[in-house]
Structure formats: C-alpha cells, structure tokens
Structure 1
Amino acid sequence: MIMPAISYKRHRFPPQIIAHAVWLYYRFPLSLRLVEEMLLERAIVVSYETIRRWGKKFGPDYARRLRRKQPSRDDIWHLDEVVITIAGRKHWLWRAVDQDGYVLDEIVQNRRNTKAAKRLLTRLLKKHGVAPKRMITDKLRSYGAAKRQVMPDVEHRSHKGLNNRAENSHVPLRKRERVMQGFRSPGSLQRFVSIFSALRNLFVPPRSKRSALATHIHRLQAMAEWKAVTVVS
C-alpha cells in the first residue's frame, strides 16, 4: 500500500529542521529542552513544546514508513516484560526481539498474566505473518500457557539465562525514562516506544555487523533512508 506524502503545510519551519529535531529527540537520550538548546546553537529558535508537538504529530508517521525487517521461519523470538510505574500505578511493557536484537513489537498492558502474554503473541503473528523457529522467555509461566493456545508447534525454551537479549533491550528505554522523568500515561508510553524502537531498529546495526567499517556503512544507509522517509533532501 502506497502511503500519502507527508505534508508539512502550515509549519513555518522547513521540513529539514522538523525532521532533524524529531530525530535528535528519539534517537539520543536527550530531553526536549536539550534538543531546544542544540537547535539554538545552530541559530534555530524553537521552543521545547513545539518540538514535543512535532514528535507527536510526525513521529508515528515516520515510524510507519521505515523499512521493516523481513520475517523468517528461522527467526528466534526473545520475549520479556518490564514494569514501568506511571502516576503511581504499575504497568507492564511486553517486548519481543529477534536473534539480532531487532525489536519486533511492544505493547503496554496493566497485567502480567496469560491473557497479556497471549495478546502479545497474537499481535506478533498477525504483524509478521509467520511463526518463529523458537521462542525464548524467562520462567514466567504465562508465556508457556499463551504459546500453547496461539502457536503450539513452536519450540519454547524457558530459562532466564538464555533471555539476556530481551532483557538487554530494555536498557535504552530505561535510560530515556530517567531523562524524561517518567511517562505521563500508558498511551504516551506506547506512542513513544513505537517511534523510539523504530529508529533504533534503523540506526543500530545488527549484532553480526560489528566491524567499524560495517557499522559506518550501516549508519550511512540508515541516514539515507531516514531522509527519504522524512522527505528531506
């Protein structure tokens, strides 16, 4: 499906500045005020509140347009959940990553049970179209119960030591959470992680590309795709 072009009409700042501000905020552990200061250093006077509105308006559209990794039946899904407190209440961010650390999906839920695990697996299958070769989780029994209902033929390994990849994937978000001093609502958290992880998927090279040259080439290609998606020459 061909998406309509991104419209920057009625914005007095050019697309290059809008896209650059959104990229800075979601790509690096920066607060809105720090992004405001970095733009000011370039003689671009824009308020942090305007940058927040740009991220809210354009961020989801950018994320939807970024190229996604092609799913494979040989993929290994690593699933984990992390608690995030919002306005004094606990919520759970359920995340799935593959063998390369690529974020497959994330969903914010207020429960840590079989129903929540089943919802994540159902979303993953619908989104990717194929089941993985193997699923790896920690010892939470809800994963096994949900797997038996959603994809009973998939191998499931439940061992905390095998699931470091999923657990490590929470670290960048935890850093952002501290910079942002928490999230205001489950909806704002869901919106943020969908954009944040889409940019990480684009710019962070797979684990197989660890040489300096491969990393450099990967980031150049990522930047070229980002400019194409944001319609910035």
Structure 2
Amino acid sequence: MNYRRERGRAILEMGEQVRRLDDSTYEVKSQTTPNTKYTLSRTAGGWDCSCPDTVQFCKHAYALERRLGPKARADRGLMMHEAGGQVERIAPDHYLVKSQSADRTYEVRDFGRGWMCSCPDHLHTISVCKHIQAVQFKGGERHIIQPHENARCKFCDSDDTIRKGTKKLKRGDVPKYRCRGCGKYFTDNLGFEGRRSASEHITLAVEMVYGGMSTRKAAGALGRAGCVVSHMTVQRWAERFGDIMESYFDHILPQVGEAWRTDEVYLRIRGDRKYLFAMLDADTRYWIAKMVATHKGTDDVRPMFRKAKEVAGKTPSTLISDGARNFAVAQKAEYAPRNFLWKDSVHESHIRMDGDTNNNQMESFNGNTIRHREKVTRGLKNEDAAILSGLQTYHNHIRQHLGLPEHSTPGEAAGIHIRGEDKLRTIIQAAAKEAAKRAAFDARQDGTCTG
C-alpha cells in the first residue's frame, strides 16, 4: 500500500485543505503543525513541496494530484513539450520520452487503438499520462494557440520588426511597428482590418454578447468606455467573428472522450419555435456539433451526428440520449459498426433522472449555455445564424467550466490551449493567420496549374 497516496486522499476528503495561489503554485495545510502551510510548485516531473518530506510525491502532492485529476498530467505534458528535447520521434507511431524523475526513457507507441506508454502511471491506471500528452503536443494532436506578437512588414515582408507604440484613431488605438529591414513604419491590426474601432473594444463587446448580455447593453457599456457604436454594430461583430472562429476550429481536432451526450432545446427564430440539437462530450464537456431543426423527435439529425464524427475524428463508444426515435436512427446510420473491424458503439437511450445513466450534463448545458443566453438567441433571423457558432466557441474556449478540474475550459480539457489575456483576440488573429496561409497556398497552386 502507498501510505502517502492514502494520506493524500484523506487530506482531500477533509475539505478546504488545498488552496490555489496561481496557475502553477498551490498551498496545502499541514496536518501535524497548526497554522502551517506548505507551498507546492509544479515541475515537469511532479511537484516541489516545501514540507520536510524529501520524496518527489509527498502526501500533499498526492492530495493535489487527486484534486486536479487529468489536468495535472496535461499541464506536465505541456511543460515537457515547451521545455524541448524531451521527445524523440522514432516513427510516426513510435516515440521515446525522457523520464522527469530518473535517468531513463519511456516508449510511447500507437498500435492502432490509441497511444500506449511504458511508464508506471499508464500501466497501472490506463490514463493518458504526461508522456503521451507530450507526444500529442509534438505531433499536433494537442494544440497551443499563441497570441499574435511580431507583425510582418507590409512593404518588404520581413518578420524583423519591433513595436513602436500605437497610432491614435477616433475610436481606439492600433499597434504601430517599425521594420528593421527597410526602416519603414506600418500599422498592424491583424484580424480586425478595416474596423474603425479598436480590437480590444470589439472583443470586449463580442465577449459580453456571448456571455449573455444583450447587444444594446453591450453597446452602452462600450459607450461608457469611449467607443460609441450602435447595438446593430455589436450584433454584426458577434455574427461576423462567430463565423470566423467556427471555420478556424473546424480544422483543429479536439481530444474528446468515448462517451457523448445529445439532446435538444427549443429556440425562437423569427417568432417560430425551433429546436437546437447539440452533441456534447461527457469527459471534457466539449460542444462537438450542433444543428437547428423544426421538429423535436422526427427531424433527421444525421447531419449533426456526421459533423460530430468529422470534428472528433472518431465515433463514440457510448452515446447517451433520451428515447427520441430520430436519435436512434441517426446513431444506427452513423455510429453503428458495419463489420467486426469497426469499433462498437452503444446507444444508451433509457435514461433516468436518479439512475446511473442520466443526461444531467446535457440538461445543465441547456440551462447554463443556452437558456441563460436567450437574450443573445432571441434575435436570430435564420437557422444557421453565426451567433450560435460564437456561442459554441465561447462555451468551448472562453468560459471556464465549474465541473472541470481547476475550472478549466472544455477546450483545454480537450487539448486546445489558448494563450494571452484576451483569448477572443488570440483566436481571431490566429484564424486570420491561417486564412492568409491558405490563401497563399491556393495562389501558388493556381500559379502552378496555370504554368
């Protein structure tokens, strides 16, 4: 028996023994000395604790590991990836990863049914250990979206530029740069070109709308901040950038779990009653796919099931829904195995409010994400309104989820980490960069074909 692990479990069960100080530092109360607290700092190998116990994993570290759950492994996998030199590629399905606690390496391999690691953590718990997550970051299965910092010169296309203050505009400031190559000055407003308002005002208004505030109240808040715009301008921003962000995330594969949930909630579109169908991952709470239909139990929802399969890159082992017939038809058509080589997919449709199989996560999603934002959806004019795409991005990558470890976002739980204080701006500018790359690639292809 691991006594430190058992004592760590007992510490956590006592409640109010662990306190978060910042993203990588925590505080745990001493169980033997009154008014004493130990500080734990995150390392790639585990935790550095200030307690007298000199082992790598003391009881305080085990208590913290239990509280954080899978997030602890994900954070250490990210640290190993960012440190560099920790992962060696042998083949596309074979990697060697350095141990963070001993002078040895672990094998990480994919035999066709997911990654497997030779480390004790994976062998004993069958979890996605930090070594697997480091490999996933290196291979692009997990993503880090960095904020836009260094602009390229508009005159000579050099990336050797430096920030030189801001250019004053009527409704805000735009970053100004100087190119060290040609010496010229230029402004860079990536993702917000042609907008007369500052990017921070735009993202603030869009986030307020997706967070549940009406467009009129959002416009009023901007006016008090010195940016006078109409509520229709705010509405257009929310719709425009909702489309941009959805297109960007369509090309990023989230690492969702094997159990998915689906349900519907009614909306008013042009005064008519419509139903929003949604597919949610049970492990990460990631909103995978959506569609709007006219009828609750008879409309074909196969397009949403197909879209979810494309977004996740796989089918679920378990699908949980109510007993509506259209869910059963879509599950059989899209997820049921065609032969013995396909993965089995079980449909759980006999749900109970107080049983082991319930759909409480979807009911909570319907209430907190959709019902709480009826002011946002009230003005929808068509069934494919971009505002729903914005709500999906806000749920997945901006809003912290109270049901996830350390209140992380569903996107972070699914391996998509967004850096920067203004996450919406980071996403929009990353989408603009990706669109520019695709346009340049298409132009080269057209030139090659013409030549």
Q: TM-score, normalised by structure 1?
A: 0.80
Q: Deviations over 1:133-188 (max 9, x none)?
A: 211001212212221222113011111431111122111211221x2472343336
Question: 2:335 & 2:418 partners in 1: Cα distance?
Answer: 38
Find the partner of 2:373 among 160, 167, 176: 176
SS of the counterpart of 1:170? helix
Instruction: Give the equivalent residue in structure 2 for 1:166.
Output: 362
- Matched ranges for 1:43-58 at <5 A: 43-58=226-241
Question: 2:352 & 2:382 partners in 1: Cα distance?
Answer: 27
Find the partner of 1:191 among 362, 386, 394: 386
Instruction: Give the equivalent residue in structure 2 for 1:102.
Output: 286
- Are positions 1:156 and 2:347 aligned together? yes
Instruction: Give the equivalent residue in structure 1 for 2:395.
Output: 200
SS of the counterpart of 1:91? strand
Greater radius of gyration (CA): 2
- Are positions 1:126 and 2:310 aligned together? yes
Q: Deviations over 1:49-83 (max 9, x none)?
A: 221222222332134335956234x4211000122
Equivalences, count:
220
TM-aligned CA deviation for residue 85 of structure 1? 3.1
- Are positions 1:75 and 2:272 aligned together? no
Residue 23 to residue 169, structure 1, CA distance change in 2 (3 Å): same
Q: Deviations over 1:90-139 (max 9, x none)?
A: 22111011113221111111233465232221121122220112110012
Report if the CA contact (8 A) 2:297-2:326 is conserved: yes
Report if the CA contact (8 A) 2:293-2:299 is conserved: no
**Percentage of identical aligned residues:** 20
- Are positions 1:31 and 2:214 aligned together? yes
Report if the CA contact (8 A) 2:241-2:390 is conserved: no
TM-aligned CA deviation for residue 48 of structure 1? 1.4
SS of the counterpart of 1:81? strand
Q: TM-score, normalised by structure 2?
A: 0.44
Question: 1:224 & 1:184 partners in 2: Cα distance?
Answer: 26
Report if the CA contact (8 A) 2:218-2:231 is conserved: yes
Residue 87 to residue 18, structure 1, CA distance change in 2 (3 Å): closer
Instruction: Give the equivalent residue in structure 1 for 2:76.
Output: none
Answer 1 or 2: which has greater helix percent.
Answer: 1
Residue 228 to residue 220, structure 1, CA distance change in 2 (3 Å): closer
Q: Quick one: which amino acid aligns to residue 258 of structure 2?
A: D
Instruction: Give the equivalent residue in structure 2 for 1:11.
Output: 195
Question: 2:425 & 2:227 partners in 1: Cα distance?
Answer: 20
Question: 2:274 & 2:347 partners in 1: Cα distance?
Answer: 25
Question: 1:155 & 1:85 partners in 2: Cα distance?
Answer: 33
- Are positions 1:229 and 2:424 aligned together? no
Q: Quick one: which amino acid aligns to residue 396 of structure 2?
A: N
- Runs of 4+ in structure 1 displaced over 4 angstroms? 66-69, 218-222
Q: Quick one: which amino acid aligns to residue 102 of structure 1?
A: Y
Residue 142 to residue 125, structure 1, CA distance change in 2 (3 Å): same
Question: 1:134 & 1:192 partners in 2: Cα distance?
Answer: 30
Question: 1:35 & 1:149 partners in 2: Cα distance?
Answer: 43
Find the partner of 1:90 among 273, 285, 291: 273
Question: 1:112 & 1:64 partners in 2: Cα distance?
Answer: 27
Q: Which structure 1 segments of 5+ residues have no match? A: none
Q: Quick one: which amino acid aligns to residue 131 of structure 1?
A: T
Root-mean-square deviation (Å): 2.9
Question: 1:181 & 1:123 partners in 2: Cα distance?
Answer: 22
SS of the counterpart of 2:291? strand
Instruction: Give the equivalent residue in structure 2 for 1:140.
Output: 324
